[in-house]
Structure formats: C-alpha cells, structure tokens
Amino acid sequence: MTVLTMTSREFNQSASEAKKTALKGPVFITDRGRPSHVLLSIDEYRKLSGGTMTLADALAQSDECDIDFEAPRVGGLFREADLS
C-alpha cells in the first residue's frame, strides 16, 4: 500500500497526481505541517464505512432493528376550490 503525504499547496497544484496515488493507498494532506485531510479511493472509503446501503437493503433488514413510526397527519395544506 502506497502512502503519500503532501502539503495543501502541493495538493492544489497536482490534484490529479493525488487522485492517482489514492487508488494505491491513502494520501495525507497537511496544513501548516499537521495532517488535516485524507484522500481515499471510493472503494477504500466504502470498506471503512461499511459500504453503501440502498433503501431496499435497509427495509430488508431483520426484525431485530424494529422502528416504530407513525406518520404525522397533514392538515392545512390545501383549501377547497371556489367553483362559483
């Protein structure tokens, strides 16, 4: 895994190089000598964050995560049409 550290100025001057390197490993971006950001490929981000979940995936989850939800009544959003 390649790890690259670059300053904010270097990142601004060669963002395309940083993106290419991020495909091989994280790119640490420093601000005033201190790490401030990390650039990751989307695949690495998804691995770290647990992937993506679609609405269908969320609805198909087991009953262990039961959420009670009652939709609020909607009122006052319309008025009767004046047909005179």
Transcribe the chain into DSSP letters: ---EEEEHHHHHH-HHHHHHHHTTS-EEEEETTEEEEEE--HHHHHHHHT----HHHHHTS-TTS-----PPPP-SS-------
Q: What is the pLDDT of residue 62?
A: 62
pLDDT in tens, 23-73: 999 999 999 999 999 999 988 888 888 777 777 776 776 656 666 777 777
Q: pTM value? A: 0.57
Query: Domains in the chain, please, with CATH?
Result: 4-59 (3.40.1620.10)
